[in-house]
């Protein structure tokens, strides 16, 4: 697997981000229907064998090279002659080299029991309902805090500060008597119909109007694909934010895998 140490990009970040965005579009987004139609990991080694794309340090013969690369994660590596021609991964995107990484199948965490200390990926939820996974534990003003999605901790804006958070979630057998791990301190409200704002730098790509984007972490009702309406780029000396609106007809996701 690639090194997990921080990677310092020598080239302008815009080029690396553009390379990743193009790889995501060509290897994941535009071929999603084709990928879902086949069983992952089949001997055909088509797009269904490609699991994800990211930016990482290139690894050669098991050794980090210090060179940034577009990492393409596959279930299994195969000689080029065995890969479907349309699914062959280019050696470069936007001048940035690619690094094919055999990761195996990604399997959702199935451990739903009570754990202390609690780790990322474990069952977590609001005591009144809602279930998801613990994102991570951080420090805020010196105090430990548990971080997760709105639908997991705040019940899609229906919760109140001070509400009990359980690990494991109530659906997995957690009770307020024995499994309280935190009290809700606050949350970022979800606005499903009005304009929203994202940190453009952390998003890692240029959001474009009249395109399709995926939304994850908003709950089963609101996850899925959306049309990007009007947007405004807010550029300041020390920040880059994007204000945008999303729309679609109906609720629920039309695809079991939402690419973002």
pLDDT tens, residue by residue, 118-156: 888 899 999 998 888 898 888 888 889 999 988 899 988
| CB atoms closer than 10 angstroms to residue 147 | 13
| CB atoms closer than 10 angstroms to residue 237 | 4
pLDDT tens, residue by residue, 102-125: 988 776 555 788 999 888 889 999
pLDDT-derived band at 39, boundaries 50, 70, 90: low
Q: How far is CA 80 from CA 44, 57, 96, 103, 252, in A?
A: 11, 22, 20, 18, 39
Phi, psi of 253 (to 5 degrees): -90, 140
Q: What is the mean pLDDT of the chain?
A: 80
Helix, strand, or coil here: 202? helix
According to DSSP, the residues that pair with 233 across neighbouring strands are 242
According to DSSP, the residues that pair with 174 across neighbouring strands are none
Decide the pairing of beta strands 129-133 and 123-126.
antiparallel
pLDDT tens, residue by residue, 164-218: 999 999 989 999 999 999 999 999 887 766 677 888 777 777 788 878 888 776 6
């Amino acid at each position: 697997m690639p090194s997990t140490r921080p990677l310092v990009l020598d080239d302008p970040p815009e080029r690396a981000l553009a390379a990743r965005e193009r790889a995501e579009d060509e290897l994941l987004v535009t071929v999603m229907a084709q990928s879902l139609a086949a069983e992952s990991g089949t001997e055909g080694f088509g797009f269904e064998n490609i699991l994800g794309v990211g930016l990482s340090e290139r690894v050669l013969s098991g050794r980090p090279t210090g060179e940034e690369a577009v990492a393409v994660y596959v279930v299994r590596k195969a000689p080029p002659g065995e890969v479907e021609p349309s699914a062959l991964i280019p050696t470069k995107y936007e001048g940035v080299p690619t690094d094919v990484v055999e990761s195996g199948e990604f399997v959702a965490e199935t451990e739903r029991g009570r754990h202390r200390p609690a780790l990322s990926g474990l069952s977590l939820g609001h005591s009144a309902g809602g279930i998801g996974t613990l994102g991570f534990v951080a420090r805020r003003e010196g105090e430990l805090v548990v971080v997760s999605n709105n639908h997991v901790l705040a019940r899609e804006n229906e919760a109140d500060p001070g509400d009990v958070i359980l690990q494991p979630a109530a659906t997995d057998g957690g009770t307020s008597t024995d499994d309280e791990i935190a009290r809700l301190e606050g949350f970022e409200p979800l606005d499903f119909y009005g304009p929203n704002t994202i940190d453009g730098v952390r998003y890692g790509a240029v959001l474009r109007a009249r395109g399709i984007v995926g939304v994850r972490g908003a709950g089963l009702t609101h996850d899925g694909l959306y049309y990007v309406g009007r947007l405004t780029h807010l550029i300041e000396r020390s920040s880059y934010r994007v204000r945008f609106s999303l729309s679609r007809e109906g609720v629920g996701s039309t695809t079991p895998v939402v690419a973002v």
